[in-house]
């Protein structure tokens, strides 16, 4: 069975070492990259192999984990991010999910909790879809409700793009471009249009947007 590859972003070397040893004992996991800061990851991500899951610490000097998630969402490559933090703060969690995090764990979690979260993200894309949906809804409910009053209006190409975003195969933007027979720049334009019209910040937000308003399969 192919190993689930993992990248670690944490400013404490001893934490990274401990996580690496624990993960490689817990299951079919392999830590393929370690970064001691958010900027170190951003500097290297264009050349390094993309891990299946990126485990990110919240409290880091210079740029915290949520700020890193926001920057990662701007990249062409897609990362499934699990945020670890000692701060169980609703605003931190809500913002992390809003910008595309796939899961959240307190640093005091058990090894079993960590394994469950990683396996869930690897198998389904998320750790807890219901929690994420509720938090993202609450985070931006007033703006979304205002849009709902005026109706959801998508062009045919925006709808086709959104359908591919929600595809269970988790297609890359390059694969979407091939399927739609357009350039990657066109795909990015559809994404930007939806982001701007409906105040969406991430691919996760697009999926939840489609789910909430029953816009595409598999939510119809």
What is the model's pLDDT at position 57? 94
Of 46, 55, 61, nearest to 26 by C-alpha is 55
For residues 130 and 126, give the distance between their C-alpha atoms in angstroms, rounded to a whole number.
10
pLDDT band at 34 (very low <50, low <70, confident <90, very high): very high
For residues 160 and 136, give the distance between their C-alpha atoms in angstroms, rounded to a whole number.
23
Return the CATH fold of 4-137: Rossmann fold (3.40.50)
Cβ-based neighbours of 68, under 8 Å, separated by 6 or more: 9, 38, 41, 42, 56, 60
What is the model's pLDDT at position 154? 85
* Structural domain boundaries in the chain: 4-137, 140-213
For residues 203 and 71, give the distance between their C-alpha atoms in angstroms, rounded to a whole number.
13
For residues 7 and 79, give the distance between their C-alpha atoms in angstroms, rounded to a whole number.
10
What is the model's pLDDT at position 117? 92
pLDDT band at 140 (very low <50, low <70, confident <90, very high): low
Return the CATH fold of 140-213: Arc Repressor Mutant, subunit A (1.10.10)
What is the model's pLDDT at position 166? 87
Is the separation of the CB atoms in 82 and 121 below 8 Å? yes
What is the model's pLDDT at position 179? 94
pLDDT, mean of residues 72-94: 83
pLDDT in tens, 43-76: 998 888 889 999 999 999 889 999 999 898 888 7
What letter does residue 141 receive in the DSSP assignment?
A: H
Check whether 182 has a pLDDT greater than 50: yes
Residues in the chain: 220
Determine what percent of the chain is predicted with pLDDT higher than 90.
42
What is the model's pLDDT at position 56? 96
pLDDT band at 111 (very low <50, low <70, confident <90, very high): very high
């Amino acid at each position: 069975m192919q190993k689930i590859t993992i990248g670690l972003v944490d400013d404490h070397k001893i934490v990274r070492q401990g996580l690496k040893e624990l993960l490689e004992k817990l299951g079919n996991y392999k830590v393929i990259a370690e970064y001691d800061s958010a900027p170190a990851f951003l500097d290297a991500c264009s050349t390094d192999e993309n891990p299946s899951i990126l485990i990110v610490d919240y409290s880091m000097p210079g740029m915290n984990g949520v700020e890193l998630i926001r920057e990662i969402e701007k990249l062409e490559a897609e990362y499934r991010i699990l945020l670890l933090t000692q701060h169980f703060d609703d605003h931190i969690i809500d913002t992390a999910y809003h910008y595309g995090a796939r899961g959240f764990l307190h640093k005091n979690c058990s090894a079993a909790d960590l394994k469950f979260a990683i396996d869930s993200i690897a198998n389904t894309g998320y750790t807890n879809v219901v929690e994420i949906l509720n938090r993202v809804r609450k985070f931006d409910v007033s703006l979304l409700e205002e849009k709902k009053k005026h109706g959801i209006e998508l062009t045919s190409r925006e709808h086709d793009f959104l359908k591919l975003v929600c595809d269970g195969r988790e297609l890359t933007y390059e694969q979407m471009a091939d399927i739609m027979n357009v350039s990657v720049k066109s795909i990015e334009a559809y994404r930007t249009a939806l982001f701007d019209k409906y105040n969406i910040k991430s691919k996760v937000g697009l999926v939840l947007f489609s789910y909430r308003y029953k816009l595409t399969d598999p939510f119809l």
